[in-house]
Amino acid sequence: MPSPVDEKGGSPENDSITVYERPKGLRGVYYHPITQIVMLALVCFLCPGMFNALTGLGGGGQVNPTISANSTCAVYATYAFFAFFSGTVNNKIGAKRTLLFGTLGYALYVGSYLQVLFFSCRAINIHPGAGWFVVTSGALLGVTAAFLWTAQGSIMLSYCTEAQKGIFISIFWAVFNVGAVVGAAVSFGQNIKSTVGILVLTIIGITIPLLMADPDKMIRTDGTRVVMPRHPSWKSEFYGLWVAIITDPMILLLFPMFFASNYFYTWQFNDYNSALFNIRARSLNNFVYWLSQIIGSGMIGIILDSRRLRRRVRAFAGWGILLVMTFAVHVWAYYYQRTYTRASIPPDSQKMDIYDTRYPAHVWLMIFYGLLDAMWQTTSFWLIGAMSNDTNKLAIYSGFYHSIQSAGAAGVWRMDAMGLPYMNIFLSTWCLVVVGLVSSLPVIYLRIRDTTVLEDEGLMQRDQEIEMNINMKAKEMIESEIEMS
């Protein structure tokens, strides 16, 4: 156990900030926060990344688009419900166990697509049970995914210092999206063998949480220890949901931004990529979309963590970039969307291929959508991280984020499955993104400070009060036993 010293080299009693000596050698590399963030990203690379590779093709490549849309709706519906409470579970059982549990649903989901492809490649009619297996596995995936992403948010935002949050989010997002890039490359010739490859990669991802370090042994690069939740009672944790909102009600203003953060995938993947392109073009679109996310997350991460600018200035700069990208991309997309409808593109129509003269301009729209998506997700997480350093609160906020975004995604995927006009879905997407930006502006102006102070840590204070009460009760019991003896 490294010995604590304060920032001035004295004893920790003389300073409120205790600084620990970080481990050396290979042990130091293993316990380095960036190493653990990369391992965390590899989990998401091999599990959600493969999920993104399948859904990004629109209809899973060869799976009936309606089945795929209903399945994705089931994913996000159960996800939305369980993510709201997943922060309390994370704080109760620990981030590492929560992460491990969260990986389990992805292998089942990929396996369901494998079953459908197995039947379709043998010219066997897909009976209703096969479609319902995809939908059911989607519902189960939503349950486990809620816990995976909550654990991910808790770990990612608590391992970094205040000055590193943008860079750490960018590193995670870049490695994570390599998973979708690899999956898209594997899916370029969509068939049973490529889906088996995705399934094998997903199973490998399940094993990585077992190899990760325990969060309570982690020391940040500035020498401060990562303080993980003390596994309080369930009653205390559910009370923490209420405390998190009461102590920081401005988090509610970020809910529209959270709601929009997965809403736009439906139009991009099903109503644009799947509607206009054949399987080869879809696969290439999917590949460049996720590849551009690596670039987008890196670009916005550098800006959000720039040491030349104060944190408040960086927050406004990030918001301004999102505003410009939102209108540029959606105006561009509108000119394409007004040229086609569901009725104008029958299922057996000849769709756009990569050799079509119109293809280059259309694929660039996918690239810019990928940039916008990465910047949106990175900025959303950065704003959450800028509001608190309390691990308990970050876990709950991460749960809020994924719950609200999944509620939006579930609704729009269901609307798509019901055949709502493409233009309606597109316009609702555009409006929601704008509303999310407008509602987040007061949070940046009133809530984001250049540093997070102790008064902001409502749950940390709650935990201190709980611990004091426990210590007082223990002291009273000891005194009572002494008196009786």
Q: Which residues are CB-contacts of 405 (< 8 A; sequence separation ≥ 6)?
A: 258, 259, 260, 261, 262, 263
> Residue 331: in which H helix or E strand, if any?
helix 311-337
Helix axes 65-93, 234-247, angle to 10 degrees: 100
Q: Going residue by residue through the chain (485 aa), what tens digit of pLDDT does each one get? A: 444 444 434 433 444 567 888 888 898 899 999 999 999 999 998 888 878 777 655 444 455 667 777 777 888 889 888 887 787 788 788 889 999 999 999 988 887 776 655 555 444 444 445 567 778 888 999 999 989 988 888 888 788 887 788 888 888 888 887 877 776 676 655 545 566 777 888 889 999 999 999 888 888 888 888 866 554 555 665 666 677 777 778 888 999 999 998 899 999 988 999 889 988 888 889 889 988 988 998 899 889 888 888 889 999 999 999 999 999 999 999 999 999 999 888 766 788 999 999 999 999 999 999 999 999 999 998 998 888 777 777 777 877 887 888 888 888 988 988 889 999 999 999 999 999 999 999 999 988 887 765 445 544 554 455 445 544 554 555 455 555 55
Q: Taking Cα atoms as reference points, which of 40, 60, 305, 262 lies closest to residue 162?
A: 305
Q: For residue 306, which amino acid is it?
A: S
* CA 482 from centre of chain: 53
The DSSP line for 236-296 is: HHHHHHHHHHHH-GGGGGGHHHHHHTTTTHHIIIIIIIHHHB-HHHHHHHHHHHHHHHHHH
Q: Taking Cα atoms as reference points, which of 112, 110, 146, 106 lies closest to residue 132?
A: 112
Cα separation, 144 vs 102, whole angstroms? 4
Cα separation, 8 vs 18, whole angstroms? 10
Whether domain 23-484 has CATH 1.20.1250.20: yes
Q: How many residues does the chain have?
A: 485
Q: What is the pTM of this model?
A: 0.72
Cα separation, 288 vs 409, whole angstroms? 22
User: Which single residue is written with the structure tokens 């594997």?
Assistant: 186
- Kindly tell me the burial class for residue 348, based on how many C-beta atoms sit within 10 Å of its own C-beta (0-12, 13-18, 19 or more): exposed
Q: Taking Cα atoms as reference points, which of 137, 129, 138 lies closest to residue 73?
A: 138
CB atoms within 10 A of CB 302: 12
